[in-house]
Amino acid sequence: MSLHAVHVPTREELIRATANKPVSRTVKLGALALAALGLVTFVVGALGAADTPTGANRAWMALMYNWLYFTIISSAGVAFAAVQRLTTARWSRPVVRIIEGYVAWLPVAFVILVVILFASGDNLFQWTRESLHTPQKETYLDPTFFKLRGVVLFGLMTAFYTWFVYRSVRLDVGVTPEETTGSGWAKNMRAKMRAGFGEERRELHSTHSILGKIAVVVCLMFGWFWPIMIWDYSMTFSLHFQQTMYGWQVFMGGFLVMIMSFAVLMRVWRNHLGVYDVITESHFHDIGKLAFAFTAFWGYLTFSQFLVIWYGNLPEETHWPRLRLLDPWIGLSTAVVILSFVIPFFTLLSKAAKLFTPVMTVVAVCSALGIWIHRYLEIYPSVFGEASTLPFGIWEIGVGLGMLGLWVFCYTSFMDAFPKMRVFMMSSKYRDEVQVPVDPKTMEPLPAHE
């Protein structure tokens, strides 16, 4: 027997592995409890008196930066899945559904954003209480244009990202018995997916074709829309700060946490489903290498932004990093560098660290916590300035835990509602035909230039 022999599971084996293995009820109840705690904390804080020098409310501020944190991570997960389609990747077929599940947060995030835009009033964005001085900023931050921009951009992103995952999941639902696909809340959606599901080979090519088109839009939206939303919901808290690398540095931090969380969830699902010969150490190593690579990339972007500001020495830029290197912020700024770069970078130099679950989990938690603190530092110092004490407490922790609980509930509900692995692409006898695109109508290979 070859030392490199790989077990290729049959469709029946995959269905048995994923059937009737819902997420623990305790996990879902715990997530709902955290979500309820966060909601109560937010409501109490939002109805309380403003407690910042500029009149902003810390509960709304906590909601804003936690929304950014979880939403960038979730959209990055779908963008990663879209990249797998654009590259026609085969290595990720056993694990890509784990990351597609991140899409479940986006419709909820859209509702939260609408609440933030239309209900926060002047409790959040301090520029609503200032004279903007420049005509360009007056136009860009016009309240109607500001709200409309957010609804349209994130609404389009949510629609396309959901469409992409819907089409991907449809293939697996179409070849999976109903009794094996988990909870009943999505029963009607699964029935709709099965309706009109045709011959397997034709479904494969037609879906592969449409997914390729949607994947292009998904990736372009991630790279274009997020910088704009980060300018709006993060950079404008420091009204006179502007820096061209800011959007990239922020959303790539979310992409890094997505990779780190993927590394942990991949291990969780492997153990839960018992698919040790399908999700292998090769996947651990691949994702571990990506975690190392994007740690280095995030560090590069962060240092590059600082370096450009330092040698440019422009007052409209230097005040932003300078403030975060003063008390009471400097301790958290140092923690971000250690948690999100120093520990992950030097730990993941080792191949063994990428494969050993306890070490990889600790690294992922450190990185995720560091970026969460970074989201905090992007907003709070701009509002509080040179504060005497660190404004961090019940509102930030309570709302953060609530968002975490709501995110976990959305994710686990999605994973219980649909096949937990890409059964179709792993078991169809036609699966590798997608390496040579065909016309889904005639089933004839397309010329190379098409």
Least confident of 62-71, 180-189, 283-292, 425-434: 180-189
Distance CA 271, CA 23 (A): 12
Q: Classify residue 433: in a domain, yes or no.
A: no
In the predicted model, is pLDDT for residue 5 greater than 60?
no
Q: Classify residue 5: in a domain, yes or no.
A: no
Contacts of 349 (CB under 8 A, 6+ apart): 292
pLDDT band at 184 (very low <50, low <70, confident <90, very high): low
Q: Classify residue 43: in a domain, yes or no.
A: yes
* Mean local confidence (pLDDT), 203-230: 95
Give per-residue pLDDT as tens, 249-271.
999 999 999 999 999 999 999 99
| pLDDT reported for residue 244 | 83
% of the chain with per-residue pLDDT over 90: 73
Give per-residue pLDDT as tens, 290-340.
999 999 999 999 999 999 999 999 888 999 999 999 999 999 999 999 999
Q: Classify residue 90: in a domain, yes or no.
A: yes
Give per-residue pLDDT as tens, 139-175.
999 999 999 999 999 999 999 999 999 999 999 999 9
Output 136 or 25, whichever has higher pLDDT: 25
Q: Classify residue 29: in a domain, yes or no.
A: yes
In the predicted model, is pLDDT for residue 54 greater than 60?
yes
H helices of 135-199, where?
135-140, 143-174, 187-194
Give me the sign of the Cα torsion angle 77, 82, 83, 85: positive
Distance CA 74, CA 326 (A): 32
Q: Classify residue 435: in a domain, yes or no.
A: no
Distance CA 171, CA 174 (A): 5
Distance CA 215, CA 399 (A): 33
pLDDT band at 51 (very low <50, low <70, confident <90, very high): low
Residue 244 phi/psi, 5-degree rounding, is -70, -25
Range of the domain at 292: 17-426
Distance CA 371, CA 340 (A): 6
Q: Classify residue 6: in a domain, yes or no.
A: no
pTM above 0.85, yes or no: yes
Give per-residue pLDDT as tens, 371-407.
999 999 999 999 999 988 999 999 999 999 999 999 9
Q: What is the mean pLDDT of the chain?
A: 91
Distance CA 363, CA 151 (A): 35
Q: How many domains does the chain have?
A: 1
Residue 384 is encoded by which pair of tokens?
Answer: 């509080």
* Mean local confidence (pLDDT), 57-81: 97
DSSP string, 34-68: HHHHHHHHHHHHHHS---STTS--HHHHHHHHHHH
Residue 14 is encoded by which pair of tokens?
Answer: 């995959």
Q: Classify residue 275: in a domain, yes or no.
A: yes
C-alpha pair distances (Å), 297 with each of 302, 303, 373: 9, 10, 18
